[in-house]
A and B are shown apart, each in its own frame.
Chain A
Amino acid sequence: MKEISFRDDILPLKDKLFRLALRITLNKADAEDIVQETLIRMWNKRDEWSEMDSCEAYALTICRNLSLDLCARAGRQNVAIDEGRDEAPAERTPYEELDARQRLEIVKRLIDQLPEVQRTIMELRDVEGKSYREIGEVMHLSEDQVKVYLFRARQKVKLQFSKIEGYGL
């Protein structure tokens, strides 16, 4: 059995953890702190790595719980503010940049309005490309439950899209 290395196997999860924490907390600084805390907790559990079914699922679960704790402490709801989004690639024209920002804002608004469970499942499925089983491991849900939550999330997003299309944005 391959020996798990912190540097090679755990630390590379940082970006996935960051995106998940960012999706839940909606704040980059908080998300970064949560990733740091998650990785330190993983490090402290290094004696148990070999017994874990999936270190990645375990780390994502810690990250999600820490994010939820932070939101609960701060009394934060689904407020969609992300100050880091002002950074845009230099090769875009101002028109494209504006267009990209608008697209981003619409999608962010739609997804951020979803309940946390649906939002997290959508993040893990559509952004991280996780299977239903893997998502279930992270969220402590059955595959069917994951599928139900994802179905509700996508249906809400679709409904919102059709509304936007109807209003002509």
Chain B
Amino acid sequence: MDYKYIEQLLDRYWNCETSLEEEHILQAFFTQKDVPVRLLPYRELFIGQHLHAEEHLDADFDKRILALTEDKQEVRHENRVTAKRITRSYKLTPFFRAAACVAVVLCIGMAVQQASLHSEGSTEYIRSTPQQVAPTAIPETAYGLPDTHPIDSVLLKGNDNNL
């Protein structure tokens, strides 16, 4: 196999003349198993870089960071503002309450008025009974009283004394 291309790339690599893509080619070449003996010493450099590129932090690190940043802020938001969907009936609740209060007041008012009217009606009935009875009573009295002292006779007696 001809490794001239790789050797050329390697020379250009040392002189910083390679592009990122060409450096990826070198990386891929040197991390494979079949590397010619004369290029073997440089393999260590690319393998070392490749192994270093595998260094990473564990998943617990994410949890710790999120607890110190985003999650902390979410808790603050929860304490400060609570998002809640408001329905139309929920929005109109104060009006419903007001209407209910008005209805109760009206009912009570009507009930009181009814009660007072009812009581006034019975009084009138009580008052009106003698008035209604009177016209019939007078004749009864007029006609029912014993005619022991007729008016005309009393008047006449008085007139006689004056005379």
Binding site for B on A (CB under 8 A): 6-7, 11, 14-15, 18-19, 22-23, 32, 35-36, 39-40, 43, 100, 103-104, 106-108, 110-111, 123, 125-129, 131, 147, 150-151, 154-155, 157-158, 161, 164-165
Contacts and interface: CB of A to CB of B under 8 A. Distances in A.
B43 A103 contact: yes
Closest 5 CB pairs of A and B: A107-B48, A43-B69, A103-B44, A15-B56, A151-B16
Given A100-B47, A103-B47, 11 more contacts: A14-B56, A18-B57, A22-B52, A40-B68, A100-B51, A107-B48, A108-B48, A126-B49, A129-B20, A150-B16, A157-B45
Q: Interface centre among A104, A106, A127, A157, by most B CB within 10 Å?
A: A127
B140 interface: no
Contacts, number: 89
Contacts of B41: 161, 164-165
A141 to B, nearest CB: 14
B125 interface: no
A154 B47 contact: no
Is chain B's interface secondary structure helix, strand, loop, or mixed overall? helix
A156 B56 CA distance: 28
Contacts of B68: 36, 40, 43
A123 B51 CA distance: 12
B77 interface: no
Interface in B83-136: none
A129 B14 contact: no
Contacts of A40: 65, 68-69
A126 B21 CA distance: 11
